[in-house]
Structure 1
């Protein structure tokens, strides 16, 4: 069984959508500006964004975008940094080469390449 759908409540649907489209190749499947908005990943993953107020996820909550290689992680990291996002340098952890970023919408994203 595969997990192929998640719903996130976010502070700003538009900013979150644009971030996910720009850096993680999601496509909008519903009309922009509606609540909710449905995004589709290249692998068929369905990500629904719902508008909320004062959104707060647990400290360790995050979603992950595994990459095929360390170079792919570095490319995303560089794109985010060039765009002005404050992102820590990727590092090697027990489960891979990774970095985290707080996305518009107030949730954490992990970008990683497994070792």
Structure 2
């Protein structure tokens, strides 16, 4: 069995969708709706974003993007940092990893 669909509630759908597209290569389904967006990856994942007010995720909640190498993790870290995101450098934990708060109030882990 394969998990292939996840929905996140976010206060600003376009901002969250643009973030996921720009930094993680998800592709947006064309739509002019500001309250819903479907994004797709190359492995069949469908990530939907739905507009909701006052969204609060638990502190440990996050989504993750596995990378093919530590250098790719470092590249994404640097892009985010250069674009003004508040990110701590990657560290060795369960993997070479770091996290960032995405527009929409959820955390994203990047790891190799």
> What TM-score does the superposition give when structure 1 sets the normalisation length?
0.93
How many pairs were matched up? 112
> Could you tell me how far apart the structure 1 residues matched to 2:88 and 2:34 are?
33
* Counterpart residue number, 1:112: 111
* Counterpart residue number, 1:78: 78
Q: Is the 8 A contact 1:10 1:53 kept in 2?
A: yes
> Could you tell me how far apart the structure 1 residues matched to 2:20 and 2:82 are?
16
Structure 1: give runs of 5+ residues left out of the alignment. Answer: none
Question: What is the DSSP-based 3-state SS (H/G/I as helix, E as strand, rest coil) of the residue aligned with 1:87?
Answer: coil
Moved over 6 A (4+): none
Instruction: Give the number of the structure whose residues are more often strand, by fraction.
Output: 1
Structure 2: give runs of 5+ residues left out of the alignment. Answer: none
- Superposition RMSD on alpha carbons, in Å? 1.0
